[in-house]
Amino acid sequence: MIQLCSNSSIVMIDLLNHPLYCITSDNVTSTHADQVSSMAQEGVKIIQVRSKKFFVEEEVKRLSSAIKDARKLGACVIVNDDPRLCNATGADGVHLGSNDEPPKSARLAIGEGKIIGGTVHSFDEAHALKLSGYYDYAGIGPFRNSSTKQELRPKLSIKDIIQIVSFLSPVPCFLIGGLDSMDFSLLTETGARGICVCSGLNKGKNFGAYLEHYTNESQKYYG
């Protein structure tokens, strides 16, 4: 049976028990630092900073401060793609896509005690993630198309997801791709730990218009 990565903090791993995983966006007027702060203040426990832009030094400083404050509120903050940004901001881990650097080198870069998450689009990728032994959680999808990632991979069926979640157990699995607040019910149906939400939190460029709604709905599925 696969074990959670022994190099990851028990406290950090415990935070992965929450059903709501929120992701920041480049497509809103709020900065990533402000998005992290708002999410943490609203009670979100798993936050990912996802951006395709380069953060200048001042932005890194603001993000570092927001991550420090988020941790005081009981949240963990994970950086997408980039172990170097993880280190620069003091984030709690890194999420690696299929085209990012291998998890072994990411672990060497970020050191022990931090989370490594990975993306799974198929059973073959689930097998590779399990075999590596470096991942603390998996993002599984896409369940449906989303405004942030359109037609990147074939969508997974409920049957596919159930199979992958069962295969990866006990690694926590989070569903990704076009999910909304009504989709928390999929957790019971599939055995997944939670859902990942990005664009669904916002109304156009207005960040967080629906953030409170998501956090309220997620409470029904915690534990």
Please check whether residue 184 is in contact with residue 218, taking contact to mean a CB–CB distance below 8 angstroms: yes
Q: Is there a domain that residue 2 lies in?
A: no
Q: Is there a domain that residue 125 lies in?
A: yes
Q: Where residue 95 sits, what CATH number does that domain have?
A: 3.20.20.70
Query: How far is it, in rounded angstroms, from Cα 148 to Cα 3?
Result: 32
Q: Is there a domain that residue 62 lies in?
A: yes
Mean pLDDT (whole number) for 135-149:
82
83 is written with which tokens? 């172990």
pLDDT tier for residue 6 given thresholds of 50, 70 and 90: very low
Q: Is there a domain that residue 74 lies in?
A: yes
Query: How far is it, in rounded angstroms, from Cα 54 to Cα 52?
Result: 7
pLDDT tier for residue 3 given thresholds of 50, 70 and 90: very low
* Residues 6+ positions from 151 with CB-CB distance below 8 Å: 145
Mean pLDDT (whole number) for 68-84:
96
DSSP-derived letter for residue 183 is: G
Q: Is there a domain that residue 111 lies in?
A: yes
111 is written with which tokens? 């050191």
- pLDDT tens digits, 111-126: 988 999 999 999 999 9
Please check whether residue 110 is in contact with residue 104, taking contact to mean a CB–CB distance below 8 angstroms: no
Q: Is there a domain that residue 183 lies in?
A: yes
- pLDDT tens digits, 36-63: 999 999 999 999 999 999 999 999 999 9
Scanning the chain, the segments in alpha helix (DSSP H) are 10-15, 32-41, 57-72, 83-89, 103-110, 123-132, 158-168, 185-190, 211-218
98 is written with which tokens? 């299929």
138 is written with which tokens? 């998996």
Amino acid letter at 89?
Answer: T
Work out the angle between the directed axes of helices 158-168 and 123-132 (0-180°, nearest 10).
Answer: 10
Full residue range of the structural domain in which residue 203 is found? 10-221
Q: Is there a domain that residue 1 lies in?
A: no
Number of domains in the chain: 1
pLDDT tier for residue 151 given thresholds of 50, 70 and 90: low
The 10 Å CB-count burial string (b at 16+, else e) for 160-171 is: bbeebbebbeeb
Percentage above 70 pLDDT, the chain: 89
Q: Which residue has the tokens 């929450």?
A: 18
Start-to-end C-alpha separation, the chain:
23
Point out the least confidently predicted range of 21-25, 113-117, 140-144, 185-189: 140-144
Query: How far is it, in rounded angstroms, from Cα 73 to Cα 67?
Result: 10
Mean pLDDT, all residues of the chain = 91
196 is written with which tokens? 């990942």
